[in-house]
């Protein structure tokens, strides 16, 4: 989920409530809050708590909630897990430590320390384009085999061979989730079980329909939906995330087109292209 802001860059809690309702009403299977797309590094601790509490209250147990709990300091993650109240949160999403560029052994030890400090289900998050280091398939599999409360990985390495290796060799209790909307369809054909999506903020019903069709083996109709959104997948990230999806939601009349520095909105040319594609798709804007 994004974090909507008002023109003065304060959190728009009314828009957040509307967005939660929109996602609940349009076939979303679970929500992922306070992660990359939420601009979490720019949120205060008080804002994070208010967002968490609002979403938990609005969802009211209807679908699971996954919450981002990440740091490049292992002790900080453990401290959060041991001291914060996670009532209403069903699992945590924790990214590979960023900036430090740990070795594969360092990544393993990081997740070992986290997994042994909590009973919460943990979803690993591998996104080397942001963290600066790739968690290799053998490291993911080692963690998956050693810690039963590590239940899944959000894979956004862009390396299909690596993802396929994990899918083929993972324990049965461990799942692979796409972290990249544009390659979700091919990953589903290999055995991934879904996506933690950016475009799902704007098009939850249609995109989740693609997921369900693919998981039912109806690859032809799923591919039609994938191709329908192909141009929007590119526009999502051409000026960075979540600038693209916030432009889409703004064009759809759902939020203000505001981000917090150091992130800025999409260029006018990108915004105009997004509006044109939405109009071509007969989506009101």
Which residues are catalytic, by number? 125, 154
As beta bridge partners, residue 204 has: none
How many residues are listed for the chain in this entry? 285
Residue burial 96-122, b: 16+ Cβ < 10 Å; e: rest: bbbeeebeeebbbebbbebbebbebbb
Q: Which of 190, 195, 191 is nearest to 178 (CA)?
A: 195
Secondary structure of residue 214 in the 3-state scheme: helix
Residue 44, judged by CB atoms within 10 A of its CB (0-12, 13-18, 19+), counts as exposed
Q: Establish whether the linkage from the previous residue to 242 is cis, with ω within 30° of 0.
A: yes
Count of CB atoms situated within 10 Å of the CB of 177: 24
Burial class for 142, CB neighbours closer than 10 Å (0-12, 13-18, 19+): middle
Instruction: For the chain, count helices (H), then strands (E).
Output: 13, 6
- Any idea of the CA torsion for 181, 185, 187, 189, to the nearest 10 degrees? 170
């Amino acid at each position: 989920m994004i974090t909507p802001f008002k023109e003065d860059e304060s959190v728009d809690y009314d828009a957040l409530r509307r967005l939660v309702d929109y996602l609940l009403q349009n076939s979303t299977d679970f929500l992922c809050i306070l992660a990359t797309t939420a601009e979490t590094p720019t949120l205060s601790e008080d804002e994070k708590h208010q967002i968490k509490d609002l979403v938990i209250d609005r969802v009211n147990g209807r679908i699971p909630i996954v919450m981002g709990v990440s740091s490049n300091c292992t002790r900080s993650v453990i401290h959060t897990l041991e001291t914060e109240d996670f009532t209403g949160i069903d699992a945590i999403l924790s990214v590979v430590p960023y900036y430090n560029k740990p070795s594969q052994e360092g990544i393993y030890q990081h997740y070992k320390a986290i997994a042994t400090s909590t009973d919460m289900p943990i979803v690993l998050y591998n996104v080397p384009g942001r963290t600066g280091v790739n968690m290799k398939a053998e490291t993911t599999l080692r963690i998956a085999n050693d810690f039963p409360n590590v239940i899944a990985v959000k894979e956004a390495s862009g390396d299909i061979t690596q993802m396929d290796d994990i899918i083929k060799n993972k324990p049965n209790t461990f799942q692979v989730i796409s972290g990249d909307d544009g390659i979700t369809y091919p990953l589903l054909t290999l055995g991934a079980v879904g996506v933690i999506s950016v475009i799902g903020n704007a098009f939850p019903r249609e995109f989740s329909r693609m997921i369900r069709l693919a998981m039912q083996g109806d690859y032809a109709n799923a591919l039609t939906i994938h191709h329908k959104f192909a141009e929007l997948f590119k526009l999502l990230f051409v000026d960075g995330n979540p600038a693209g999806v916030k432009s889409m939601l703004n064009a759809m009349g759902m939020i203000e087109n505001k981000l917090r520095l150091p992130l800025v909105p999409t260029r006018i040319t990108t915004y105009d292209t997004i509006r044109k594609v939405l109009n071509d798709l007969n989506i009101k804007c």
